[in-house]
Amino acid sequence: MASSPQSDSVEIFDTTLRDGGQTEGISYSVDDKLRIARKLDELGVAFIEGGWPGSNPKDVAFFEQARTMTWKNAKIVAFGATRRANIKPGDDASVRGLVEAGTEVCAIFGKSSVMQVKEVLRTTLEENLKMIEETVAFLRTNGKRVIYDAEHFFDGYRLDSAYALQTLQAAVKGGAETLALCDTNGGSLPWQMETIVSDVIAKLGKSVRVGVHLHDDSGCGVANSLAAIRVGARHVQGTINGYGERCGNANLCIVIPNIELKLGLRALPAGALARLHETARFVAEVTNFAPNDQMPYVGNSAFAHKAGVHVSAMQRHPDAYQHVDPKLVGNEMRVVVSELSGRSNIVEKASELGLQNVDAAVGAKVVELIKAKEHEGFSFEAAEASVALLVRRLSPGYQPLFTLLDYRSMVSRHGDRSMAEATIKLTIGGHEVHTAAEGNGPVNAFDQALRKALEPRFPAVKDISLADYKVRILNSNLGTAAITRVLIDWHDGVRRWSTVGAGSNILDATWLALADGYEYSLTPAAVRS
The CA distance from 190 to 194, in Å, is 6
The predicted pLDDT at position 190 comes to: 98
Query: pLDDT value at position 97?
Result: 94
Percentage of the chain surpassing pLDDT 70? 85
Q: Please give the pLDDT value at position 56.
A: 82
**pLDDT, greater one: 252 or 25:** 252
Q: Are 67 and 41 in contact (CB under 8 A)?
A: no
Choice among 33-37, 45-49, 73-77, 440-444 with the minimum mean pLDDT: 440-444
Is the per-residue pLDDT at 379 higher than 80? no
| Domains: count for the chain | 2
Question: Of 45, 79, 227, 243, which is closest to residue 147 (Cα–Cα)?
Answer: 79
Provide mean pLDDT across the span 420-434. Answer: 92
Establish if 483 belongs to a structural domain. Answer: no
Spatial contact of 47 and 37, defined as CB atoms under 8 Å apart: no
pLDDT at 424 over 90: yes
Up-side HSE of residue 430: CA atoms within 13 Å toward CB? 0
Please tell me the least confidently modeled range out of 190-199, 293-302, 472-481, 499-508: 472-481
Residue 332 lies in a domain: no
- Specify the pLDDT at position 529: 41
133 found inside a domain: yes
Question: What was the pLDDT predicted at 362?
Answer: 64
Q: What is the pLDDT of residues 138-179, one digit of tens each?
A: 999 999 999 999 999 999 999 999 999 999 999 999 999 999
The whole-number pLDDT of residue 458 equals 93
Bridge partners for 423 per DSSP: 408, 436
Q: How confident is the model at residue 527 (pLDDT cuts 50, 70, 90)?
A: very low
Burial per residue of 156-180, b for 16 or more beta-carbon CB atoms within 10 angstroms, e otherwise: bbeeeeebbbbbbbbbbebbbbbbb
359 domain-assigned: no
Is 302 part of a structural domain of the chain?
Answer: no
| 413 and 272 assigned to the same domain | no
45 located within any domain: yes
Q: What is the residue range of 265's domain? A: 11-287
Ranges 60-69, 203-212, 256-265, 371-380: which has the least confidence: 371-380
What is the model's pLDDT at position 176? Answer: 97
If asked whether residues 282 and 421 sit together in one domain, one would say no
Strand (E) positions, 141-234? 145-151, 178-183, 209-214
- CATH of residue 259: 3.20.20.70
- Whether the per-residue pLDDT at 353 is higher than 50: the answer is no
- Mean pLDDT of all residues belonging to the chain: 87
Considering the entire predicted model, what is its pTM? 0.71
Report if residue 68 sits inside a domain.
yes
pLDDT-derived band of residue 526, with 50, 70 and 90 as boundaries? Answer: very low
Position 144 scores a pLDDT of: 98
Is residue 216, in this structure, part of any structural domain at all? yes
